[in-house]
Structure 1
């Protein structure tokens, strides 16, 4: 028998050693950290003891609690975590979801005190989501408004309250926020606030909020109750505040938006997505072949809240969105994009002239197509025209003499994060083009339609991080 060569012996020696001993664990840690699928993480945890230790922080970084499901309550969650060593310290996000498979079951009612007590046992939680719940707070006496709890130092990256009903007016939300010392991002989306008469003076809530996102928040009766959601909050003057809005078309919702935002005075960055004011979300996500083509009469001619940015004279950055889709094509697509451009220009036309930075984010649903670029370019050919790219180009320079930059943020794939969840849709469909190709296509187009901003050195481009 011929003895193995040196190379063959080396191969035999290497294959005899387990891969987890030949490759540094740090390499596996980097790979596992990119896994989002729970089943894949579970499989990794079963490979060996070393991989189990690496996988555990990612497998238990997020949990979902369902108070309406008998085996998924807070009590079940805490009991399960108590059986796992150090699992409580590994958790980074928790979702409290009131949905069940049986839609006939009413949404569960839950006190914010109970939520706070559970979160106190999970000190490492950085992201909190409350969805499809009826939030309440036990008031001991009729007419007595409870004072917020003492200021705490607990910080969270994100608090999301979505698709919820807040009972007893502003009290539950204010009480919930009083348990937190700092919130990097507060998201309130698709929330109904029950009307309730509040006293003239509500106790102050001391919490540092860096960014607020508001969309589709209404009241069940008198919309003035919405003014109390953030009235009297002690916002830090040293921390810049960002307000992000995704207004809907309903008149009541737009009126409510003004009431909600009235306490926010020191806003430095205002972000507005006018998509829902410019057309139906169905035009973005559905195949339009079974619908008649869009016409000029299908899109709003004006927006009653276009002066929204003038309510914030302190802003120095205005962020706008231009949304494209692969669901509609040719003239129908151009008409929708023209309506979005027109509403964006209405905002710009009413923004403080001291504005220093403008950011236009090109967000898409569906794969990138070069036909989309031509549909955007065709806005100038629409008859009758709404607003053309030339008007934005020249008007921006004329209105904002102190403008430092007009930044176009390209390849934004965060449509679902901003407008979802949408039933039946889980993610933005992928594109056959690379992000770099998409980026380059838009750079060529925007330099062509915004030549004055380009010549003045104000036009800049960067890749979106989502």
Structure 2
């Protein structure tokens, strides 16, 4: 993620103009300089947009003249962070900024709310302030909430709480978000989340990562009563109260580590029901994505909850196969893992399955082959237990580090004489896929995916080796694409002969 621009000391819109006036005193007037044309605001904005994240340069550009200041501020304020526990980044400071410079509200595309206090503990999400912010940010496309707690709040004219939940009036212009991310949050009441969702008309991708669900609606002050209520919830005697249904359009839901304590296990089922009542999949169907960090249970809960609305499933088996250090720095001491058996073959509404195969350039030879064997075996475990209704299978080759030829050699070992008897190899995938999926229309390999990490710098000591493989970015990616396409045509010959094997270059770049 690009660096965030802190709004402190920039609320006064005249401060930048003052700097511009000082600068112009030392620069010859443009009217006295010949053969120079001013850039149009649209072209200037396009140029400055490529400096997104370069805060120092953008600040200097904002001092050139009012036109440059306006265009630079559009990029500077593209992302804003609110940290209520930190001075100068509170909700009060944020709203003062919007009041002093109303145009800034149109520039903000990405809002990040961080709930950590100075001690590192979660703070309750101030849903009222968040609702006000959403109403004042018409151009917002991405909303991140980290380390926050969604807990009960008092009833008021705009809110709902506990068993007295009522429908909220929808805003005149619901937001159309590209991404809504809730990370490392705790849900103790569905009402605050419900209030957040009422501001949304569409969410392309909903990310739920490390969510603790512990919902128990209590209006009883007695600690003994709370213990009794929690016991009743645990054994299923009572269900968490659910807010009124919504119809927020959602395209993809990514879930990892959505958990509940044993004393509130019934809350977890209530949370999935709450999601189902809040979000409405599009006509093309819902996509579900997971990394199986805590096993297959989370995926199966999502499939059971949304049932026949699910059309696509995306599974990355990497974290279930190894320690990420194996991929990043070449650690070989850790053990590689098999996924626990699970089947989702009964969900016949699924038409597409997306899998990932991760390679690394910091490992070679036997250790790399062992890693790739386990990743391939786990991918086949998923594929061989998928519904036979699949028409499209996508295998994304996600690379960590540089494209090196020896990686191809290690992958080639998994096919023929080098593969151990009884182990899963490329031949197993090639033959088994054709046998299991009679309706298969395409097996697409997505290549040149550098999206494993944003920073692709790797611990190569030989600078000359790095220089040889870098070259032109476009030429390098095309060479990588051609190398993998030729390799996979040999590893998956039956799919290739049937005309089912396709190749596509990934848009994800480091």
In structure 2, what is the equivalent of residue 97 of structure 1? Answer: 114
Residue of structure 1 aligned with 2:371, choices 318, 336, 341: 336
Number of the residue aligned with 1:207: 248
* 1:135 paired residue among 150, 158, 174: 150
1:247 equivalenced with 2:292 (yes/no): yes
Q: Which residue of 2 aligns with 1:267?
A: 310
Alignment pair present for 1:429 and 2:446: no
What is the CA deviation profile of residues 99-137 of structure 1, one whole-angstrom value per residue up to 9, with x for unaligned ones? 46x5x3422222434322222122221110001112223
| CA positional deviation for 1:404 | 1.0
- Taking the aligned partners of 1:366 and 1:357, their CA distance within structure 2 comes to 29
- Seen in structure 2, the aligned counterparts of structure 1 residues 98 and 285 have a Cα distance that, compared at 3 Å, is farther
CA distance in 2, matches of 1:53, 1:443: 47
Q: Normalising by the residue count of structure 2, what TM-score does the alignment of the two structures yield?
A: 0.77
1:34 counterpart residue number: 50
Residue 373, structure 1, aligned to residue 394, structure 2: no
Cα gap change, 1:56/1:395 in structure 2, threshold over 3 Å: closer, same or farther? same
Write the distance in 2 (CA, Å) between the matches of 1:330 and 1:451. 24
Find out whether 1:386 has 2:423 as its counterpart.
Answer: yes
1:286 is displaced (CA, Å) by: 3.0
Equivalenced residue count is 430
Tell me if the contact between 2:207 and 2:255 (Cα under 8 Å) persists in the aligned partners: yes
Secondary structure of the structure 1 residue equivalent to 2:386: coil
Q: Which moved more, 1:64-73 or 1:311-320?
A: 311-320
Contact 2:391–2:440, Cα closer than 8 Å, also in 1: yes
SS class of match (1:144): helix
Distance 2:44 2:35 in 1: 13
Specify every segment of 5 or more residues in structure 2 that has no aligned partner in the other structure, as ranges: 1-29, 217-232, 234-238, 459-465, 471-475
Alignment partner, residue 423 of structure 1: none
Output one character per residue of 1:183-203: Cα deviation in whole Å (capped at 9) or x when no partner. Answer: 111011122222534347653
Which residue number in structure 1 is paired with residue 202 of structure 2? 182
Flag the 1:112–1:261 CA change in 2: closer, same or farther, 3 A.
farther
Deviation at 1:98, TM superposition (A): 2.5
Q: Per the alignment, in what secondary structure is the counterpart of residue 507 of structure 2?
A: coil
Cα deviation, 1:253-294, whole Å, max 9, x if unaligned, reads x43443344311211111111111111122222342xx53x6
Give the match's secondary structure for 1:96.
strand
Find the counterpart in structure 1 of residue 61 from structure 2: 44
| 1:465 corresponds to 2:507 | yes
Map residues 66-465 of structure 1 onto 2, 5 A cutoff. 66-99=83-116, 102=118, 104-138=119-153, 140=155, 144=163, 146-152=165-171, 153-168=174-189, 170-196=190-216, 197=233, 198-199=239-240, 203-221=244-262, 222-231=264-273, 232-233=276-277, 235-236=280-281, 238-248=283-293, 250=294, 254-265=296-307, 266-288=309-331, 292=333, 298-305=335-342, 307-308=343-344, 310=345, 312-380=347-415, 381-383=418-420, 386-416=423-453, 427-429=455-457, 432-433=469-470, 434-465=476-507
Asked if structure 2 preserves the Cα contact closer than 8 Å seen for 1:226 and 1:260, the reply is no
**C-alpha contact 1:183 1:208 (8 A) present in aligned 2:** yes
What is the Cα deviation at residue 89 of structure 1?
Answer: 1.4
The CA distance in 2 between the partners of 1:48 and 1:73, in whole Å, is 30
Contact persistence 2:368–2:410 (CA under 8 A): yes
CA distance in 2, matches of 1:385, 1:41: 59
Aligned to 2:13: none
Query: Residue 342 of structure 1: SS of its match in structure 2?
Result: helix
In structure 2, do the counterparts of structure 1 residues 136 and 111 end up closer, same or farther at CA, with 3 Å as the change threshold?
farther
Secondary structure at 1:70's aligned position in 2? coil
Deviation at 1:208, TM superposition (A): 1.2
CA shift, 1:311, in A, is 5.0
SS at match of 2:311: strand
Contact 2:165 2:243 in 1 (8 A): no
Conserved 8 A contact 2:200-2:248: yes
TM-score by length of 1: 0.84
Separation (CA, whole Å) in 2 of partners of 1:285 and 1:236: 36
Q: Deviation of residue 48 (structure 1)?
A: 2.8
- Equivalent residues of 1:45, 1:52 under 8 A apart: yes
CA contact (8 A) 1:174 1:229 kept: no
2:162–2:191: 8 Å Cα contact kept in structure 1?
Answer: no
Secondary structure in 1 matching 2:106: helix
